[in-house]
Amino acid sequence: MSLLNAAARPSEVLGDVMNGMGIKRLAWAVALACAVTLPACSTMGSMAGGGKAPQLVQVSPEQAREQMRGAQALMDQASGHAESGRASEAISMYDQVVGLYGTSADPQVRQLVAQSLFSKALILDRVDNHPAEIKVYQQMVTLFGTATEPQLQVMAARAQFNQAITLGQVGKPNKEIKAYDQLVRQFGNSQVSDVQDMVAQGRFNRAVTFGQLGRSRDEIKAYNEVLAAYEGHSGSHQQWMYAQSLFNRAVTYGQVNDVNSEMKGYDDVISRYGTSRDGDYQTLVARAMFNRAITWGQLQKPQQELEGYEEIVSRFRTSDVDGVREQVARAMVNQAITLGQMNNWKRSIEISENVVRAFGRSEGLPFQQAVANALVNKGVALSELKKPEEEMRVYDQVIKRFKDSNEPTLQAAVAKAMVYKAITLGQLERPKEELAMYNNVVQQFGDINHPAVREWVMRALQNRSAMTAQVATG
């Protein structure tokens, strides 16, 4: 068992970056769903159906006003039921709105009908009746997909978008992709800015979904379509989809071992957005720089890797953007690891100490993880410098700082520090203390099923068994 190898760079770094994009996609969908909810229907919901749109009936202004009063009264009742947790009653009220006024040609009445359907869909989402929710979204697209009124276009497009999101949530990614395709076909030429934003997000989500299916070539092709559609676009959301697609395409090139295209992609992100003052773009640049440094390491070019980490630290050291600071912390941790791999242990210790000073009081989990990793790496470096007492004091710091954490990654760091301390105690010929430390690992973490924690529990068990066998044969 090698201490240095155990402290080597986490293999999930690139995966974390990619997963961040997928999470961004779903978070946007939730925000979008909330944005459509109006005061009269501030609940969640979908409807049965699809098929052909009914023939609309023209009504007089007086009839329209009467229909609006009736629809609004029903919607207010539905909202009250929903707020009181009576989902079935709320859905029944919304169904009455659609049944009574669904054929009205008056634009304002149609908007109330659309709001009722959407609120019903959101209620169904809340109670996890996703098949019915999807049918409501389909009905909304059927009823309002060809509407010329901007507000109805927005609601129809949102219904199509949320249908795609929901299909993904119920484990139907291929249908999710088809739903994004329909979104682009049906609403891609809309001049309504909110609809354009949804189409852009749908294009991007489609690419992400290909990636989740392991269809990397299709994913790259889909990102290329986003880039072609929004090159030079003036819309802020389209620009952000472009930037994320540029970054994600680079990550995906790396996954298919096209390193040249991967590195060029990171360079493109850095050159395009390196001077931006926007926090999201700064974070994207920092991630591109971090991934570029990681890739240098994978290419067995540690000097370039090290320079890449140093560039992140020097460029963003004073940033107050949490996403950027996370990349600085990761860069410093990996910088210390790389210095250790180059046998520059003293400098590695200095960098690890800098991590603790810079982020030791930061509350976010990424910063706590960086501190834990930095301390463990410092202990490994002290081991290499033959300073076992100092090494164990560092492991004690990890244990003291994070022993009460319920976060698996921090629990794993504590378990790792305990195993390393036990190993060092064994090297110092203090077997009773070594055995007690292994027992502590098993006792404290033995019931935790997270893979990162289980790894160190298993090491403790294996080392304890080896000690027992050695005593038996002694």
Output DSSP code: residue 367. H
Query: Which is more confidently placed, 405 or 2?
Result: 405
The predicted model gives 383-394 an average pLDDT of 97
What are the CA-CA distances from residue 421 to residues 127, 276, 328, 343, 398 (Å)?
A: 49, 45, 28, 21, 11
Q: What is the pLDDT, as a whole number, of residue 470?
A: 73
Residue among 375, 389, 377 nearest 345 (CA): 377
The predicted model gives 218-225 an average pLDDT of 98
Annotated domain spans of the chain: 386-474
Judge contact between 272 and 309, C-beta under 8 A.
Answer: no
Residue among 258, 269, 332 nearest 295 (CA): 258
Give tens-digit pLDDT for 238-253. Answer: 999 999 999 999 999 9
Helical pair 302-316 and 322-341, crossing angle rounded to 10 deg = 150
- The pTM (predicted TM-score) of the whole model is 0.84
If pLDDT is split at 50, 70 and 90, which confidence band does 21 have?
very low
If pLDDT is split at 50, 70 and 90, which confidence band does 469 have?
confident
Paired with 57 in beta bridges are: 104
CA distance 137 to 46: 6
Residue among 269, 214, 263 nearest 242 (CA): 269
Q: What is the pLDDT, as a whole number, of residue 15?
A: 26
Query: What is the C-alpha R_g of the chain?
Result: 28
Give tens-digit pLDDT for 75-90. Answer: 999 999 999 999 999 9
Q: Picking from 50-54, 142-146, 206-210, 230-234, which range would have the lowest pLDDT averaged per residue?
A: 50-54
Give tens-digit pLDDT for 325-376. Answer: 999 999 999 999 999 999 999 999 999 999 999 999 999 999 999 999 999 9
